[in-house]
């Protein structure tokens, strides 16, 4: 099982780095192309996968 350390992406269109810090903390980049949600509970993405760079960090739970 994966534990989410940081839940963030970078928009390749506008360069914004957006991070969801808690459950239901939905964020969108300034150009509106991509969004992120879920905080440390789940990884949710909105938009075309070609338009974001994944920056989230996870680790294996023991």
The secondary structure of residue 51, as a DSSP letter, is G
Query: What three-state secondary structure class fits 54?
Result: strand
For the chain, what are the domain ranges?
2-52
Q: What is the pLDDT of residue 12?
A: 98
Q: What is the pLDDT of residue 61?
A: 81
Q: Which two tokens stand for residue 10?
A: 């970078």
Q: Are 29 and 37 in contact (CB under 8 A)?
A: no
pLDDT tens for the 62 residues of the chain, in order: 789 999 999 999 999 999 999 999 999 999 999 999 999 999 999 999 999 999 999 999 87
CA distance 8 to 55: 5
Q: What is the pLDDT of residue 62?
A: 74
Residue with structure tokens 């963030």? 8
Q: What is the pLDDT of residue 52?
A: 98
Q: What is the pLDDT of residue 28?
A: 98
Q: Cα Rg for the chain, rounded, in angstroms?
A: 11
CA distance 27 to 8: 10
């Amino acid at each position: 099982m994966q534990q989410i350390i940081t839940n963030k992406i970078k928009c390749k269109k506008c360069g914004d780095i957006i991070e969801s810090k808690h459950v239901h903390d939905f964020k969108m980049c300034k150009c509106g192309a991509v969004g992120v949600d879920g905080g440390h509970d789940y990884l949710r993405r909105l938009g075309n996968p070609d338009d974001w760079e994944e920056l989230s960090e996870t680790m294996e739970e023991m």
